[in-house]
Amino acid sequence: MIDLHTHSSFSDGELIPSELVRRAVVLGYKAIAVTDHVDYTNIEHILSCVCNVKSLEDDYDIRIFSGVEITHVPPAKMPLLVKMARKLGAEVIVVHGETSVEPVPQGTNHSAVSLDIDILAHPGFITLEDALTAEENGICLEITSRNGHNRTNGHVARIANEAGADLIVDTDSHSPYDLINDETAFKIAMGAGLDEKGARKATVTNPMKLIGNL
C-alpha cells in the first residue's frame, strides 16, 4: 500500500506520527505521507514538526514523506500557501477538494489544479474542465476510502478517465482503523467503476510514479 494522504495528532488525527507509521508498517505499507491539515495560521508549526518523522526510515522498511493538506483555505490565498509549503519542506502537497459533505469554498478545485500540488483530494463533483487542467499539470485526482468523502468516487473516476487524468487511491486516515491494505485499496478502486487495469494504475502505478518524482 502507498498512502499519500493521512493525518496525525498534529491536526485532527488520533495518532502521533510515530504510531501512525508503525501501524502502517504492520499493514505492509511501502510508503506513507503524513499530510496534516494546514492553513496560513499553522503551516510553519506543522511542517517543522512533521518533517522529523522521516527519521523513522532508519528503523522501518517504509518510505515516509512529510506533507500538508491545505484545507478550507479561500482560493485566492492558496497560491501563496502552496509556495510556502514547498519552501518549508513539504514533499507532498494535497489540497482538500470540494467534497460533497463539507462547506469547502467554491472555486477550490479550479484554483488547486493550476498550482504546484500533487493531489486534489476527494474533489466531489469535479468538472471536466478542472480534470483536464489537472491532467495537464500532472496532478492526481483522489479516490478515497474515507466515509462521506467517498460518495462521489464514481463521478471522480468517470471524469478523470474522460480527461485522461491520473487517479490515486488514498485513505485520508484519521484513526488507526482507517488504514487499509493493498487488497482493500484495489476493491475501492474497482468499486469506483474502474476496470482491473485502471484499479492497478490507481493503487500501484500512479502512486509509484508520484513518489518516484519526490
Task: Supply the pLDDT for residue 129.
Answer: 98
Element (H, E) at 129: helix 128-136
User: pLDDT tens digits for 30-80?
Assistant: 999 999 999 999 999 999 999 999 999 999 999 999 999 999 999 999 999
Percent of the chain exceeding pLDDT 90 equals: 99
Write out the three cell numbers for 9: 495528532
pLDDT at residue 12 tops 80: yes
Is 126 exposed, middle or buried, given 0-12, 13-18 or 19+ CB atoms closer than 10 A?
buried
Q: What domain count does the chain have? A: 1
pLDDT at residue 214 tops 80: no
User: pLDDT tens digits for 76-102?
Assistant: 999 999 999 999 999 999 999 999 999
Q: Which domain holds residue 25?
A: 2-212
Q: How confident is the model at residue 213 (pLDDT cuts 50, 70, 90)?
A: confident
User: pLDDT tens digits for 110-128?
Assistant: 999 999 999 999 999 999 9
User: pLDDT tens digits for 176-192?
Assistant: 999 999 999 999 999 99
Task: Supply the pLDDT for residue 45.
Answer: 96
What is the DSSP track for 30-98?
SEEEEEEEE-TTTHHHHHHHHGGGGGGGGTSSSEEEEEEEE-S--GGGHHHHHHHHHHTT-SEEEEE--
pTM of the model: 0.97
The domain that holds 157 is classified in CATH as 3.20.20.140
Average pLDDT over residues 193-213: 95
